[in-house]
């Protein structure tokens, strides 16, 4: 994997991505996407037991910050992780929480 230089622009982007992930619902969404690969907002909403508007709100934030990608297929939009390495980041967080 190519190493990215820590320019001010890259640091700003990285901080934005970390802020976008730093919410319990968003971590839950990422975990569901890790398990399912790609899911619709309805599938995510049902699996997490949250309102569809809430799921859409959080998906939009993560998509805007470059954490997720979205692909429309017919009437559905499928969300997936933009970077597979996000799983490694969450593994690190999970390990830190096992105090």
Instruction: Delineate the domains of the chain, giving CATH numbers in brackets.
Output: 8-96 (1.10.10.10)
pLDDT per residue as tens digits for the range 8-37 = 888 888 888 888 888 999 999 999 998 878
Are 80 and 33 in contact by the 8 Å Cβ rule? The answer is yes
Annotate 68-84 with b (16+ C-beta within 10 A) or e (fewer): bebeeeeeebbbebbee
Predicted TM-score (pTM) of this structure: 0.82
Cα 19-36-21 angle, rounded to 5 deg: 5
Task: Tell me 3's DSSP state.
Answer: P
């Amino acid at each position: 994997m190519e190493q990215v230089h820590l320019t001010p622009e890259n640091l700003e982007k990285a901080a934005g991505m970390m802020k976008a992930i730093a919410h319990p619902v968003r971590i839950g969404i990422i975990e569901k996407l890790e398990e399912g690969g790609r899911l619709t907002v309805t599938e995510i909403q049902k699996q997490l037991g949250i309102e569809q508007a809430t799921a859409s709100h959080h998906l939009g934030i993560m998509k805007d910050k470059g954490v997720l990608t979205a692909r429309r297929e017919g009437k559905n939009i499928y969300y997936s992780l933009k970077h597979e390495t996000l799983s490694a980041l969450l593994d690190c967080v999970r390990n830190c929480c096992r105090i």
